[in-house]
């Protein structure tokens, strides 16, 4: 497997494929970047905010979670989601370095 930077090419592909859908980008832009309980959303709240159905929202959240872009907290019978901001930052930094070299900040 070819490697560029710190993440292998298959992982880059998986991450950018997850981010290539406009609805998933809306989810990433809506969710908080920390696990502050008051700001996190569960599936029902995301549907109220962004529209869609429960199966569709769960599908998109699963793709983002599988790509390592989301974290979650279980509270009672609900799962609340937030963006794994440190991981997203590291992925983007690593990608910039792999593509443009370390001179780009």
Residue that is written with structure tokens 């910039």 in the block = 96
Record: fold of 7-99:
Arc Repressor Mutant, subunit A (1.10.10)
* CA nearest to 51, candidates 84, 14, 83, 22: 22
Longest dimension (CA), the chain: 47
Q: If you average pLDDT over residues 82-88, what whole number do you get?
A: 93
The SS3 assignment for 95 reads helix
Model-level pTM? 0.83
What angle in degrees, to the nearest 10, is found between the helix axes of 85-100 and 9-19?
A: 120
- Residue 87 — left, alpha, or beta (φ > 0 → left; ψ -120 to 50 → alpha)? alpha
At 42-72, the pLDDT tens digits run 999 999 999 999 999 999 999 999 999 999 9
């Amino acid at each position: 497997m070819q490697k560029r930077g710190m993440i292998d090419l298959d992982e880059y592909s998986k991450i950018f494929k997850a981010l290539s859908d406009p609805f998933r980008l809306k989810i990433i832009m809506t969710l908080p970047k920390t696990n502050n309980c008051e700001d996190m959303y569960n599936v029902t709240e995301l549907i109220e905010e962004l529209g869609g159905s429960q199966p569709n929202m769960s599908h998109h959240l699963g793709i983002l979670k599988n790509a390592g872009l989301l974290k979650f907290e279980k509270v009672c019978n609900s799962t609340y989601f937030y963006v794994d901001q440190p991981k997203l930052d590291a992925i983007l930094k690593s990608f910039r370095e792999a593509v443009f070299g370390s001179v780009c900040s």
